[in-house]
A and B are shown apart, each in its own frame.
Chain A
Amino acid sequence: MSRPIVIENASLYGDTTASLLIEDGVITKVADAIEAPEGATVIDAEGLVALPGLVDLHTHLREPGREDAETIETGSRAAARGGWTAVFAMANTNPVADTAGVVEQVWSRGREIGLADVFPVGAVTVGLKGEHLSEMGAMAHSKAQVRLFSDDGVCVYDPVIMRRALEYVKTFDGAVVQHAQDLRLTEGSQMHEGEVSAELGLAGWPAVAEESIVARDALLAEHVGSRVHVQHLSTAGSVEIIRWAKARGINVTAEATPHHLLLTDESARTYDPLFKVNPPLRTQSDVDALRAAVADGTIDVIATDHAPHPAEDKDCEWAAASFGMLGLETALGVVQKALVDTGALTWRDVARLMSETPARIGKVDDRHGRPLAEGEPANITLVDPQHAWTVDGAQLASRASNTPYGGMELPGRAVATLLRGVPTHLSPRFEGAFA
């Protein structure tokens, strides 16, 4: 078996200093001080925050089909470097992940690479076309054991199909994960509809196009007694609707992305398509509302919506460019900058938002998002909150380099990631210990 690992003097969840002993992929001891067993690798974690391995509920790995943007391998490496031990891979690949065959292929390729657990998300409708339900049962019962279904990239727009999907996933305790976007209200849309779009002459993507679908789906989930997870919440109005739905007892959860928690529509003034994303960057008051909702628990999860695109799809006119931005490697630093360093969140909150709750929503909480405690799987992320770094798209592990944070300094980053006790990412300072 692999050598034991001792992590010395880590700050668990940022509040309790302790050492951890890891043997055979399991945390076997948590104590003030641990004497390293014979042959153990010792990591000095003084000043580092230990979190349960992060779980990204929203990743695009692009394989199969767009291996020029990302592969399961490069995306897994980016995930590991960002502190993620599990990622949920969206279904909008080519072919679409709408059959057991495709989801099993993605799942097994993820296992082969072994840098992160890759959990495929199945498509709700065949080919993401919004017309016929995909064989969700077959995907649920496949080796990939799919529990989350999403047409992400497009909205499940037809209310009848959405209702049927919400009902159908109850069969296997699944959830529908919705990209909330009224398609008619957003035909040709380029950016948030407001003062900046009015001035720049870019077609607007109105907040109401998201909010109306969020409201509809919350009501549908209530009506049929199912659960719905709303992706990338971007507006203050959506926050209000989720808050209302939760107060009413509706089984709805919601996520926000790091970029919607930090950036605003003002960045479109550069006409740089690196800032083009769907849903679009909104206004500062939306950012403020999202931050408050993350802090008060209205928003359950922070997920990346990591969306790699090759340079030619971004180095062009804004209107011709693809929507989406990288996020896996920068998420932790952005969350620290926007929420931890501002006092809105503790690291314990970060563990909840980026590991425990996403694992529970994705039905993998038997393996991920577990406590840092004896007998638990050793999925651990060590964060150095003092390790400031400047983002450079070319230096990221993803095959694509479309980060909106290029040149920005982030205050911290993951310096070690362990998946079942195996290091999947080590910053250079620890490489010696494992040599």
Chain B
Amino acid sequence: MRHLLSTKDLSRDDAILILDTAAQMAATQEREVRKLPTLRGKTVVNLFFEDSTRTRISFEAAAKRLSADVINFSAKGSSVSKGESLKDTALTLQAMGADAVVVRHWASGAAYQLAHGGWLHGSVLNAGDGTHQHPTQSLLDAFTMRRHLVSDPTGADLAGLTVAIVGDVLHSRVARSNVHLLHTLGAKVVLVAPATLVPVGIEPWPCDVVHTLDEAIEAYDIDALMMLRVQRERMTGGGSAFFPSPAEYTRLFGLDGDRMRRLPDHAIVMHPGPMNRGLEISAEAADSDRSVIVEQVANGVAVRMAALYLLLAGEEGAQ
């Protein structure tokens, strides 16, 4: 694996290798000394064209625990605002000798362009590009599901599980990444969204689509319920808003205690964060013992350690 750009590129074996490696990484994080020497001498650049403190510190922690040198490069602005172009930024990083570039960008495809533009030689790890992909988020989601829902997780996929993803699919890189990855791992995926937030052209996606959360809870034995964040701008576009009101969204798509109690007993509740409490998820659901939302954050570090390790340290096994 040279780059990690899209979960669509991952085979089942690739995905399981990352998850198994992440499990080993997670085990090392329970030791007293958590730092591993694996990537000593390697330079990892966190290149963020879009603010995301959570994702950045997760990658930063992952790289540092593998003893890599970490450079944080916040490149707000863009060629749109006539700031430095993606190309010039890439050439700069190449000149500095980046072994891996972790890139978060507002433009779909930016990670692909960095990897294939011929501008830099290091590995590119997509930390979210526009509304396209966010592969490490879906890998940490899969890792979390496997831990909770698969009895003997090492080497296993997610066959037999049903995962419902609720919310703004149209603009969600988390949803796109998860649909492909969960399908590759054998899970059934159900997308739950108002029709305005489902992309035109979704037909080939390997998933079902339903239009209310109650219908999804009725019709499927849900093992994991993933609530997506609703962006404020989706409801305030004047005549362009995607749904009539926040209250209506919450009534049809919000997860409250009542809906949560109608899920199977073992079902887990997930959210990629940050949450809008009271909009897509109630405090009761977010804070319940079914919620694995905080654990997702911890697993994110282990999964990102695994991804960096597999991209940069080659084929040797994790220590």
Contacts and interface: CB of A to CB of B under 8 A. Distances in A.
Interface of A: 187, 193-202, 204, 206, 270-272, 312, 315-320
A317 B107 contact: yes
A125 to B, nearest CB: 24
Contact of B86 (A200, A206, A272, A316): A316
A200 B201 CA distance: 11
Nearest to A195: B201
B200 A198 contact: yes
B219 interface: no
A198 B87 contact: no
Given A198-B201, A271-B109, A316-B85, 20 more contacts: A195-B204, A198-B202, A198-B205, A200-B108, A200-B132, A201-B109, A201-B176, A270-B112, A271-B110, A312-B85, A315-B87, A316-B86, A317-B107, A317-B113, A318-B107, A318-B108, A318-B109, A319-B80, A319-B108, A320-B80
Contacts of B203: 195
B200 A202 contact: no
Say which size band chain B's interface belongs to: 20 to 34
A201 B79 contact: no
B278 interface: no
Given A202-B108, A312-B85, A317-B110, A194 B131 contact: no
Nearest to B117: A315
Contacts of A197: 199-201
Nearest to B175: A201
Contacts of B80: 317, 319-320
A340 B275 CA distance: 58
Residue picked from B107, B132, B133, most chain A C-beta under 10 Å? B107
Interface of B: 8, 78-80, 85-87, 105-110, 112-113, 116, 129-133, 173, 176, 199-205, 240
A194 B86 contact: no
Nearest to B110: A317
Contacts of B79: 312, 316-317, 320
Given A187-B240, A201-B130, A271-B113, A317 B200 contact: no
Contacts of B87: 315-316
A199 B107 contact: no
A281 to B, nearest CB: 14
A197 to B, nearest CB: 6
Contacts of B107: 317-320
A196 B133 contact: no
B109 A200 contact: yes
Contact of A317 (B78, B176, B201, B205): B78
B136 to A, nearest CB: 16
6 contacts: A200-B132, A201-B132, A202-B109, A312-B79, A317-B86, A318-B109
A207 to B, nearest CB: 10
Contacts of B204: 195, 199
A92 to B, nearest CB: 20
A193 B201 contact: yes
A53 B47 CA distance: 53
A394 to B, nearest CB: 16
Nearest to B8: A199
Nearest to B85: A316
Contacts of A320: 78-80, 107
Contacts of A194: 200-201
Contacts of A206: 200
B209 to A, nearest CB: 12
A196 B176 CA distance: 13
B135 to A, nearest CB: 13
Nearest to B200: A193
Nearest to A268: B109
Contacts of A317: 78-80, 86, 105, 107, 109-110, 113
A82 B79 CA distance: 33
Contacts of A319: 80, 106-108, 130
Contacts of A270: 112, 116
Nearest to A272: B113
B108 A196 contact: no
A271 B201 contact: no
Contacts of A198: 199-202, 205
